[in-house]
Amino acid sequence: MIDNLIECISLSKQYISKNQTVNALEDINLHINKNETVLLKGRSGAGKSTLLNLMCGLIKPTSGKVFIDNICINELSDDELSNILSERIGIIFQSFNLLPTYTVFENIEIAIVPKRLKESMVKENIMSYLEKFNLKDKAHLLSSELSVGQQQKVAVIRTLIKQPSVIFADEPTGSVDDETAEEILDHLMNFRKEKEVTLVIATHGNIPEKFADRVYTITSGRINQ
């Protein structure tokens, strides 16, 4: 696993629903190299979001292991996992997860609070990203005052500004128009190249495979070989 940033070994996830066992994922084995862009493709319910959540440690597997930089994240304490999530991993959620009572600026600011940067540097960084995404004049607005596309842009900025070494994105363009989707993808790809990060994207197919170094297709909880 020396050359791999992420490694999943015999990874499975089961849920109990109405006294029945539901196999969300079964015996997943995959590796993702450093600085790669990887697509996890599949229809809704195929298991791609579950796999994404397992790889970034948000949920625990029923069996199997996930390694990031040769560290088995399933065996970490909550504090140790929290540190990795804070320092190395960026997550772009499908549902944005913006705080409704916070302004755009504040929603982004909370992502870099742990870095303890000078206030002037924080403001400069945030405004720089907002300008890149054409949102500089929205800094003072609440998330509810933004369009869906603008909310997704803020969610992307909140992840990028952390400067993570790996980014997990769950349908980052699934709810936006084509023009906004293209803009978001361009920003993600540019960031990946500039910062040499690893990018893992779950998609039902609206992101072209040309953007990826590797594509895994998931059907009914299994990777198609």
For the chain, what is the domain count?
Answer: 2
Burial class from Cβ neighbours inside 10 Å (0-12, 13-18, 19+) for residue 75 reads exposed
Is residue 10 one of the residues assigned to a domain? yes
The verdict on 17 and 82 lying in the same domain is yes
Q: DSSP readout, 134-154?
A: T-GGGTTSBGGGS-HHHHHHH
The verdict on 152 and 138 lying in the same domain is yes
Which domain-ending residue is among 162, 177, 212?
162
pTM metric for this prediction: 0.91
The verdict on 81 and 102 lying in the same domain is no
The verdict on 14 and 112 lying in the same domain is no
Q: Which amino acid is at 135?
A: L
pLDDT tens string, the chain, 225 residues long: the values are 445 589 999 999 998 878 888 899 999 999 999 999 999 999 988 999 999 999 999 999 999 999 998 899 999 999 999 888 888 899 998 888 999 999 999 999 998 876 677 888 889 999 999 999 999 999 999 999 999 999 999 999 999 999 999 999 999 988 889 999 999 999 999 999 999 999 999 998 778 888 899 999 999 999 985
Handedness of CA 193, 200, 212, 207 (dihedral sign): negative
Nearest to 127 by CA among 144, 140, 143: 140
Domain of 119, in residue numbers: 98-162
The verdict on 129 and 191 lying in the same domain is no
Is residue 131 one of the residues assigned to a domain? yes
Q: Which amino acid is at 46?
A: A
The verdict on 23 and 82 lying in the same domain is yes
Is residue 93 one of the residues assigned to a domain? no
Integer-rounded Cα Rg, in Å, for the chain is: 18
The verdict on 206 and 177 lying in the same domain is yes
The verdict on 1 and 82 lying in the same domain is yes
